[in-house]
């Protein structure tokens, strides 16, 4: 017994007789039989038997389908039988066959033309794909690092985020403003008039009237002083003032005064720890803004890399979809030839055209997806910086080349715990919490202040004489005092202190949660790397086998050993396998991109200087 051999598998013998083992009562049974028909080598007798059986099967199928309507079948010849075979609603969009005759071994040209469905969308889809090439004058090629650098320089969202640290940095200067030195100066003049009564003599008569008069005094004064607060909790003020006085009963004279006032906090508000809390908190917040910027940069670089490889995948998808259309088109042409010589049924033409139309839809979707990916890529690199703006057509020039490195979970977890910006932010938040505890604990203390006042005064007929008294320290004066105050309940300070301690506990738990999240993210990313690595070989082999299967089904269809349904299914499987292979390559390199993001080393791995904490921030490295 002889037969066709393929990949060491023997198919149905060529000299096996045709047989139908059982009777059929439904269209489903007839279809099942039609799919398992076995053929002898082509001969006139065999062709006649096959075509006659086919007509009988279609007639039986039409009868079974039409029986549901309780009406007699309207057909009585071969033409109505062929029309009934195309009656299901799923094919209602296809124009019905109107040919008047179908020969057993040949179909007329007019009938063949009536079976063909015009697809103008195919030409439009092909024209759209022709524009999506590097030959287009609007095309611009990008390498990976070129795309990354362009985005870092021009991305509009990043430009906004770059201003955030500058805004935060102003808070440091604001906090330091509490220790600024203030200069006060004044100058003025005054004139006072008052009534003055004369003296009463002891031997005055009862009718004596006391004389009255007017007293006038004039004053001109000026002064200057400096004051401020030290981080140690010291308030100080030093000032000098002078005045010129004159009355109607005396000559003009000068008064001068030099003062130094110092108030030192001994309990509440004493020391640099509490007085520099605002400055150190502002410094920490500035570093947090830098790490937030670093996270934005990491996200941007990651998005650019993913968009680059998504664009690469779209270009490959367009190529695969176009090749798939060419295969479907060739299959349709091949089916037409087989129908003309009677080796295929008219339904095969409809199936081939349906498959070709599906491939046209795939090309339309692939073209739209490619344009969408281009827009997303342009958004990241800022289209306004490109010569043609949104009309620029970016194309990737590199192919996926994932790093070949040994993946050890412990190493990547350790890197993530050191470089993750969000973990570093949480640590700085904890440091801010410690500062808040210091500030609120100080509020529990009573206010005990040491107050001292020292000065020199002088007077004279002129300004120089008054100043000389100060220089010679002729009239010194001083005073010292202790001032104490304390709210007996002090409930507000106690509540603030408790709140600060609870926030410390919350920050500590937040850090533990971040560490656990980091371990979780890294492990998931490594699992994804392992999965995509294994898929590389699997999808490559699947693609090879699916294309071999497609070639085999096409060859079998040519000799009448397969059906259009099997060929179409093989085409879909081959297309899916080709897309899966390219997708696995892109997914593999994107899995490394994800790993670098979750461990926070994206910038270091691509040669971009990250933000690092220094001693100036008030937080240890």
Question: From CA 616, how far away is CA 96, in angstroms rounded?
Answer: 83
Model confidence at 613, pLDDT cuts 50, 70, 90, reads low
The answer to whether 461 touches 254, Cβ cutoff 8 Å, is yes
396 pLDDT more than 90? yes
Q: What is the mean pLDDT of the chain?
A: 79
Residue 88 has what pLDDT?
34
Name the phi and psi angles at 482, rounded to 5. Answer: -115, 135
CA 524 remoteness from chain centre: 19
Q: Select the more confidently predicted residue: 138 or 376.
A: 376
Residue 285 has what pLDDT?
94
The answer to whether 213 touches 198, Cβ cutoff 8 Å, is yes
Model confidence at 221, pLDDT cuts 50, 70, 90, reads very high
Instruction: Flag the least confident range among 71-80, 100-109, 213-222, 378-387.
Output: 71-80
503 pLDDT more than 60? yes
Q: pLDDT for 324-362, tens place per residue?
A: 888 888 888 888 888 888 777 788 888 888 888 888 888
Question: From CA 186, how far away is CA 166, in angstroms rounded?
Answer: 38
Question: From CA 523, how far away is CA 517, in angstroms rounded?
Answer: 10
Q: Select the more confidently predicted residue: 12 or 544.
A: 544
Question: From CA 255, how far away is CA 266, in angstroms rounded?
Answer: 35
Instruction: Flag the least confident range among 172-186, 553-567, 583-597.
Output: 553-567
- Taking CA atoms, 384 is separated from 387, 390, 391, 410, in Å, by 8, 8, 10, 44
Report which of 614, 553, 618 is spatially closest to residue 7, judged by C-alpha positions: 553
Identify any residues that bridge with 247 across adjacent strands, giving them in sequence order: 217, 250
CA 382 remoteness from chain centre: 15
243 pLDDT more than 80? yes
pTM of this structure:
0.72
Question: From CA 534, how far away is CA 248, in angstroms rounded?
Answer: 109
Identify any residues that bridge with 265 across adjacent strands, giving them in sequence order: 449
Question: From CA 543, how far away is CA 297, in angstroms rounded?
Answer: 38
Identify the DSSP state of 22: S
Beta-strand ranges (E) seen in 414-565 are 447-460, 475-485
Residue 397 has what pLDDT?
92
CATH topology of domain 141-167+279-434+499-617: Outer membrane efflux proteins (OEP) (1.20.1600)
CA 563 remoteness from chain centre: 49
Q: pLDDT for 46-84, tens place per residue?
A: 333 334 334 343 334 343 333 333 434 333 332 333 333
- In the chain, list all ranges with CATH 1.20.1600.10: 141-167+279-434+499-617
34 pLDDT more than 60? no
Model confidence at 30, pLDDT cuts 50, 70, 90, reads very low
Report which secondary-structure segment, H or E, holds 245.
strand 234-247
Residue 113 has what pLDDT?
53
Q: If you average pLDDT over residues 34-50, what whole number do you get? A: 36
Question: From CA 283, how far away is CA 281, in angstroms rounded?
Answer: 5
- Name the pairing type of β-strands 212-230 and 182-197: antiparallel
């Amino acid at each position: 017994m002889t037969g066709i051999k393929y990949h060491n598998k023997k198919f149905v013998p060529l000299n096996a007789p045709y047989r139908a083992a059982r009777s059929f009562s439904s269209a489903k049974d007839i279809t099942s039989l039609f799919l398992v028909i076995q053929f002898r080598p082509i001969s006139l007798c065999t062709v006649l038997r096959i075509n006659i059986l086919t007509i009988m099967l279609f007639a039986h199928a039409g009868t079974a389908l039409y029986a549901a309507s309780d009406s007699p079948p309207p057909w009585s010849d071969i033409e109505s039988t062929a029309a009934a075979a195309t009656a299901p609603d799923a094919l209602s969009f296809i124009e019905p066959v109107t040919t008047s005759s179908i020969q057993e071994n040949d179909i007329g040209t007019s009938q063949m033309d009536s079976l063909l469905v015009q697809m103008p969308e195919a030409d439009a889809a092909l024209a759209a794909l022709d524009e999506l090439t590097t030959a287009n004058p609007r095309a611009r090629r990008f390498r990976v690092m070129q795309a990354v650098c362009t985005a870092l320089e021009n991305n509009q969202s990043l430009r906004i985020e770059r201003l955030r640290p500058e805004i935060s940095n102003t808070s440091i200067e604001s906090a330091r403003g509490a220790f600024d030195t203030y200069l006060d100066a004044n100058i003025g003049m005054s004139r006072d008039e008052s009534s003055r009564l004369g003296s009463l003599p002891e031997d005055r008569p009862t009718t004596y009237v006391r004389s009255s008069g007017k007293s006038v005094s004039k004053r001109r004064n000026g002064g200057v002083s400096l004051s401020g607060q030290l981080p140690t909790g010291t308030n100080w003020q030093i000032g000098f003032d002078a005045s010129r006085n004159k009355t109607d009963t005396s000559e003009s004279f000068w008064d001068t005064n030099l003062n130094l006032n110092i108030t030192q906090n001994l309990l509440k508000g004493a020391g640099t720890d509490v007085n520099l809390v605002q400055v150190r908190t502002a410094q920490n917040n500035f570093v947090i803004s830098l790490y937030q910027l670093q996270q934005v940069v990491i996200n941007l670089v990651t998005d650019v890399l993913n968009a680059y490889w998504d664009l690469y995948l779209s270009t490959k998808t367009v190529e695969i979809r176009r090749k798939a259309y060419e295969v479907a088109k060739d299959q349709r042409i091949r089916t037409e030839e087989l129908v003309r010589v009677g080796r295929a049924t008219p339904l095969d033409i409809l199936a081939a055209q349906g498959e070709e139309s599906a491939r046209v839809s795939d090309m339309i979707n692939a073209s739209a997806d490619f344009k969408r990916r281009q827009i997303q890529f342009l958004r990241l690199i800022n289209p306004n910086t490109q010569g043609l703006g949104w009309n620029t057509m970016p194309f990737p020039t590199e192919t996926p080349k994932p790093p070949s490195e040994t993946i050890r979970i412990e190493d990547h977890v350790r890197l993530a715990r050191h470089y993750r910006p969000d973990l570093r932010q949480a640590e700085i938040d904890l440091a801010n919490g410690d500062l808040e505890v210091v500030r609120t604990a100080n509020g529990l203390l009573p206010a005990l202040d040491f107050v001292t006042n020292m000065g020199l005064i002088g007077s004279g007929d002129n300004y120089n004489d008054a100043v000389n008294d100060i220089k010679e320290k002729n009239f010194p004066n001083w005073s010292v005092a202790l001032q104490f105050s304390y709210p007996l309940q002090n409930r507000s300070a106690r509540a603030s202190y408790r709140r600060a301690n609870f926030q410390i506990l919350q920050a500590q738990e937040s850090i533990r949660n971040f560490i656990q999240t980091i371990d979780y993210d890294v492990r998931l990313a490594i699992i994804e790397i392992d999965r995509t690595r294994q898929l590389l070989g699997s999808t490559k082999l699947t693609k090879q086998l699916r294309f071999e299967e497609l070639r085999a089904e096409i060859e079998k269809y040519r000799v009448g050993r397969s059906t259009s349904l099997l060929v179409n299914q093989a085409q879909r499987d081959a297309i899916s396998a080709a897309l899966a292979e390219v997708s696995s390559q892109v997914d593999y390199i994107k899995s490394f991109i994800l790993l670098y993001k979750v461990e926070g080393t994206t910038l270091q791995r691509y040669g971009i200087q990250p933000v690092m904490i220094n001693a100036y921030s008030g937080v240890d490295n």
